[in-house]
Amino acid sequence: MLHLLSVNDLTNDFLYSLWRDASKNKGKSNNLLKGKVLTNLFYEPSTRTSSSFYSAMSRSGGSVIPINNVQFSSVAKGESFEDTITTMSQMSDAIVVRHSENGAAERAAAVSSVPIINAGDGNSEHPTQTIIDGFTIYNFLNKDLSNLRVTLVGDLKNGRTVKSLVKLLSRFDNNHFNLVSPEHLKLSTSLPKSSYETTDINEVLKDTDLLYVTRVQKERGSVHDYSLSLNQLNELPKKSIVMHPFPRVNEIPVEFDKDKRAKYFEQIRFSVWCRQMLLQKVIK
Amino acid sequence: MLHLLSVNDLTNDFLYSLWRDASKNKGKSNNLLKGKVLTNLFYEPSTRTSSSFYSAMSRSGGSVIPINNVQFSSVAKGESFEDTITTMSQMSDAIVVRHSENGAAERAAAVSSVPIINAGDGNSEHPTQTIIDGFTIYNFLNKDLSNLRVTLVGDLKNGRTVKSLVKLLSRFDNNHFNLVSPEHLKLSTSLPKSSYETTDINEVLKDTDLLYVTRVQKERGSVHDYSLSLNQLNELPKKSIVMHPFPRVNEIPVEFDKDKRAKYFEQIRFSVWCRQMLLQKVIK
Amino acid sequence: MLHLLSVNDLTNDFLYSLWRDASKNKGKSNNLLKGKVLTNLFYEPSTRTSSSFYSAMSRSGGSVIPINNVQFSSVAKGESFEDTITTMSQMSDAIVVRHSENGAAERAAAVSSVPIINAGDGNSEHPTQTIIDGFTIYNFLNKDLSNLRVTLVGDLKNGRTVKSLVKLLSRFDNNHFNLVSPEHLKLSTSLPKSSYETTDINEVLKDTDLLYVTRVQKERGSVHDYSLSLNQLNELPKKSIVMHPFPRVNEIPVEFDKDKRAKYFEQIRFSVWCRQMLLQKVIK
């Protein structure tokens, strides 16, 4: 693999190898990328994702050029996106791109001489989040990622993390999906084989191994916000887990943070573990 | 000590140990924090302080995630301060926080799993500046920090560096304070035992071992600005020193910079020396 | 050399030594500046130049304090430029300065205790770009930088890279300059010995070893934009090279990028190679 643009670039072999390495290394620092330089090229601000890559690269012994507000920077002034990518590919060993337009990562890969890692483009893909989400399941549910009752709640139409996770989990055996969203924010990709759509979260809480919560952004014009109460969350089976790609606003009450089913902060910790392994695999 | 939130967290033993180490090391680079990651989380811009921590961490062999404009960043979008802190504590080994609200550092410490270093919250505390100010006195006046005539001038009401320095020097024997400010900007905390309040700096210049100058910010609505002339500064005893936490506007004329009593640039150099030792003590 | 402020600070001996080192090292990482800290102090945004220094410092084993929007930062609040420079010189081992005002680099050097590297001040100087441009010629045309037909096109009045390159190439034997610009954007410095001024690029394309293209910025009010077509570029001799300091807007069509005469992306790669060697020579 030269570039990581889509979940489709992630073979199961690659994923399992990365997850095994991450399990073994557990975020410990090493020197494998000493002297290497990563560019964090963020056209949309995303401090969480850029910091996670920053930490991962630093803990691998490398350096990061942080470009977090391209709209304020000179590379943006009249210059084409392709020229910016070509320029940064002359100066660094890999480029992490976050962009508001679908397909931006592919356009970057078309001209770059170094690996492009898609850190979210438009509402289409966010494959490194999927690596992390998969790893969280691998750790806390089962290493096969199979036989799971997966409840996805929120804006399933625009949420790129949801779409990528469904893509991933559909690869494995016997997973069932409960898709909970307002009518106008239903999953727009083709439905997975075993799935059930509803607008009412209460119908499916008990039938859940993994509750994956996302935010319904106000600008999407929803009256539902799917804020869950402690009582609702306590309907979840004891062995289930709750994930959230963050930021959270009101979807999960902070009182639930100490519950052993809450795994969203582990997800963040795992983001560094996994990206560290990814960078070490991708950068030559 | 896990967190450094207030001058009260700094025992004399800790301070002396840090100052002795800083005296010995003199800002030289080492590798003690290799593989460690510091987050610089600045809700208020402060290039001086963030750069000083950046340099200190770099000279200790570690890396820094620079988050300098949280208001423009995604961690701020609707996310609670506590979630931002929890998030960054999953990705790094310590967090330096600068915030405009009093008590922000305590709120951060309440949720963080890694050390929080308060780099100024509201007008209440700025303990690392106090470490530096104390070290400057330790170096240029006396190692006991005692028997000093200390003249503090400017906005004593809102200046957090002043309040913290008074707190520190009050611990040691026989220090006297001249407190010079406009009436409405007087020190609002309880007065130290031996102190004299005035609005007229000329009364006390000759009676000064340490002149600590701060700025009266225009927005505080003062007619006094306490800009000192070269003539006034030359009233100071030969063995006295002049400090300023910077930035300076007109308080001290640049012509005084070469005077051997001017120690404000040494203060800045010492900021890196001291923060280097602090990070090495705090980060595990 | 303590500071690099102007092309005049670059002796031929220094340049040849740097170019030989860069040819040998080819951008490989080393550890020569381990523990050293560079400040990137950019009063004007220039992601390309700041990233190039960042990469060069990182590949030398050192760290960079990135200050990319001084106008938004506290060092700018009421503080003099000189105090900002003095402050940063207490915290770092060298300072790269980019500023919108002519002479800013000299003002910085007057107060700094560490080396100042001018990364462009106003429309006067940009000496590190000249090192890179010279190195590109050294690599692709001849090591003597002599006997060249040099065609410079665009805004020759305000373009600091053009003025510095003319200064450099005038040192070497038997170079001829074709100066192509709108009437009101002619080279304003004294003309080199052998030179020919014109507004029509087509007159001189065949008589060119090096075509150096720059942008005519819209705000300069030109009707000419000197966008070159593929047909025009194909008039250039087979052994000629085409350079551009970037960003490009429409001056050179992307279809030409794959032509072996196009060397502008190599220029960017060389920017890191050369700045790496420069930092290693300048920082003690």
Q: Tell me which chain C residues have a C-beta less than 8 angstroms from the C-beta of A80.
A: 254
DSSP B229: P
pLDDT in tens, chain C (284 residues): 699 999 999 999 999 999 999 999 999 999 999 999 999 999 988 999 999 999 999 999 999 999 987 765 555 567 899 999 999 999 999 999 999 999 999 999 999 999 999 999 988 889 999 999 999 999 999 999 999 999 999 999 988 899 999 999 999 999 999 999 999 999 988 899 999 999 999 999 999 999 999 988 766 665 556 899 999 999 999 999 999 999 998 899 999 999 999 999 999 999 999 999 999 999 98
Give the DSSP H or E segment for B121: strand B116-121
The band of A78, judged by pLDDT with boundaries at 50, 70 and 90, is: confident
Q: Does B227 touch chain C (CB under 8 A)?
A: no
Give the DSSP H or E segment for A78: none
* Span A154-176, pLDDT tens digits: 999 988 899 999 999 999 999 99
Q: Does A191 touch chain B (CB under 8 A)?
A: no
pLDDT of residue C190: 86
Nearest chain B residue to A27, by CA: B91
Q: Residue A207 class from Cβ within 10 Å (0-12 exposed, 13-18 middle, 19+ buried)?
A: middle
pLDDT of residue C165: 95
DSSP B237: -
B114 has a pLDDT exceeding 90: yes
B30–C91 C-beta distance less than 8 A: no
pLDDT of residue C226: 82
pLDDT of residue B188: 87
Give the DSSP H or E segment for B57: helix B47-58
Lowest mean pLDDT among A66-70, B236-240, C34-38: A66-70
- Scan residues 243-282 of A and list those with Cβ closer than 8 Å to B: 246-249, 254, 265, 268-269, 271-272
Provide the b/e sequence for B11-34 (b: ≥16 CB within 10 Å). Answer: eeeebeebbebbeeeebebeeebe
Report which residue type is found at B220.
R
Lowest mean pLDDT among A199-208, B168-177, C122-131, C269-278: C122-131
Q: Does C61 touch chain A (CB under 8 A)?
A: yes
B61–C67 C-beta distance less than 8 A: no
Q: Which two tokens stand for residue A108?
A: 């970057």
The band of A185, judged by pLDDT with boundaries at 50, 70 and 90, is: very high
The band of B226, judged by pLDDT with boundaries at 50, 70 and 90, is: confident
Does the CA dihedral A11-A12-A17-A22 come out positive or negative?
positive
Nearest to C83 among B51, B55, B248 (CB): B248
The band of A123, judged by pLDDT with boundaries at 50, 70 and 90, is: confident
A75 has a pLDDT exceeding 60: no
pLDDT of residue C21: 98
- For range A188-205, the mean pLDDT: 94
Q: Does A92 touch chain B (CB under 8 A)?
A: no
Q: Tell me which chain C residues have a C-beta less than 8 angstroms from the C-beta of A87.
A: 48, 246, 265, 268
CA gap B9, B12 in Å, rounded: 10
Is 0.90 topped by the overall pTM?
Answer: yes
CA gap C8, B187 in Å, rounded: 54
Q: What is the set of domains in chain A, with CATH numbers? A: 7-125+271-282 (3.40.50.1370), 128-268 (3.40.50.1370)
A33 neighbors A61 (Cβ within 8 angstroms): yes
A247–B78 C-beta distance less than 8 A: yes
The band of A219, judged by pLDDT with boundaries at 50, 70 and 90, is: low
- For range B14-34, the mean pLDDT: 98
B59–C67 C-beta distance less than 8 A: no
Give the DSSP H or E segment for C259: none
A22 has a pLDDT exceeding 90: yes
Q: Which two tokens stand for residue A69?
A: 């507000």
3-state secondary structure of C108: helix
pLDDT of residue C249: 87
C54–A83 C-beta distance less than 8 A: no
pLDDT of residue C76: 54
B37–A55 C-beta distance less than 8 A: yes
Tell me how many residue pairs between chain A and chain C have CB atoms under 8 A apart.
73
B91–A51 C-beta distance less than 8 A: yes
The band of B123, judged by pLDDT with boundaries at 50, 70 and 90, is: confident
Nearest to A91 among C51, C61, C248 (CB): C51
Nearest to A45 among B36, B65, B73 (CB): B73
B30–C34 C-beta distance less than 8 A: no
B16 neighbors B145 (Cβ within 8 angstroms): no
pLDDT of residue B124: 83
* Span B243-274, pLDDT tens digits: 999 999 889 999 999 999 999 999 999 999 99
B74 has a pLDDT exceeding 60: no
